[in-house]
Structure 1
Amino acid sequence: MEEQATSNYEFSTKDFVNSFIRVAKTVLFTPGNFYQHMPTTGGYTPPMIFLLVCLGVSGVLSAIMARGDVLLFFKIIIAGVIFSFIGAAILHLVAQQFFEGKGAYEGVYRVVAYAGVVGLFSWIPVVGLFAGLYGLYLQIVGLEKVHQITPGQAVVTVLITLAVYLIMALVVGVPSFGIRF
């Protein structure tokens, strides 16, 4: 029973499909509970594989929606992985420097990676916008738990990080991760 409870809060490749579905449902429908029980250590591999699956689904379906733009698939995967690490670093830095957050970078990376579950829906026109906003909400909830900061501090942390990301996107050009408006 303990293993079942743990598997709702950590993706495992040992039971790939069932674990993915359990974790995705828990993150999407009970994010406070998920992030409260999510291990903040244990390596980057499980959350990164979870994120890669979400990005893969988004990439394939976005490429289909873009009339077979295979390059879009690769852009979504590569940018998604790179920016998961960069985004987690910015979130972590802001939470620690401005709000004396107590969490570690690994915990923040896990928040970002598991919030990537919204990629399963980001390829859908219009829904993608709301999925992206929900992803920000998931990060806010996760930051509260991992860094032990207030909801307001978590909101400010995510907004500052979003502003930095948008500036970076304007400077270097970043794909929309399949989000359709």
Structure 2
Amino acid sequence: MINLDYIGTWKEVMKSPSHFYSKMPRTGGYAAPILFAVVNVAIYSLFYLLFNPGAYDIGGFSSPMIFAVALLAPVVGVVALFLDATLIHIIQKVFGGKGNYEGTLRFVFYASAATSLLWIPLAGGIFGVYQLYLYVVGGRVVHEVSLERSALAVFLSILLVIVFIMLVSSSGFV
């Protein structure tokens, strides 16, 4: 049985990330952080679709495609978070981080609290940056590295993704 106090966890991650991450268990399974992330991505997807009905150019809310997008978005979002966690973990380890993969996955998935607010017009980008800040704080606590090293690990993970996308798009695969 998963004990998930979604609202309490969300508030603590957003308001006191250092405190939250310092008391967050580094082990204990993946179910609770994954469920937390699924809820956050689902909230984002729902509100994004409600406030941007033309975003997918699917003919409005009567189209079955909108339901497919709403159902697949949490899956795609969680897969993206797994990739974030894996890349950040590898880079943290290269920088001498002491944390384990499960701890990294946990802080990345709990940082998805900011994702639930990305849909807000004009302010969504601020919450995207705040999510990166949550990654930095989580990496500092879980991997026991300096704030600068943790920030560098997050920056390098973003840079690697950008380089990968540029290579794939220039190679003709896309």
With the shorter chain as reference, the TM-score category is: 0.7 to 0.9
Query: Aligned in 2, Cα 1:43/1:106: closer, same or farther, shift over 3 Å?
Result: same
For 1:156, give the aligned amino acid: L
In structure 2, what is the equivalent of residue 73 of structure 1? 70
Aligned counterpart, 1:83: 80
Identity of aligned residues (%): 29
RMSD of the alignment, in Å?
Answer: 1.7
Gaps of 5+ in 1: 1-11, 173-181
Structure 1 residues 103 and 159: alpha-carbon distance in aligned structure 2, compared to 1, 3 A threshold: same
Q: CA deviation at 1:168?
A: 4.3
**Counterparts in 2 of 1:169 and 1:118: CA distance versus 1, 3 Å:** farther
Pick which of 37-46 and 68-77 moved more: 68-77
TM-score under structure 1 length normalisation: 0.81
Q: What's the TM-score, normalizing by structure 2?
A: 0.84
Q: 2:6 aligns with which of 12, 20, 25?
A: 20
2-structure distance, mates of 1:113, 1:169:
23
Secondary structure at 1:165 match in 2:
helix
Q: Which moved more, 1:131-140 or 1:74-83?
A: 74-83
Runs ≥4 residues deviating over 4 A: none
Return 5+ residue gaps in structure 2 as ranges. 54-60, 170-174
| Residue type of the alignment partner of 2:130 | Y
Number of aligned pairs? Answer: 157
Q: Which residue of 2 aligns with 1:134?
A: 130
**How many Å separate the matches in 1 of 2:108 and 2:34?**
10
Q: Are positions 1:112 and 2:91 aligned together?
A: no
- What is residue 57 of structure 2 aligned with on the other side? none
User: How much has 1:133 moved relative to structure 2?
Assistant: 0.2
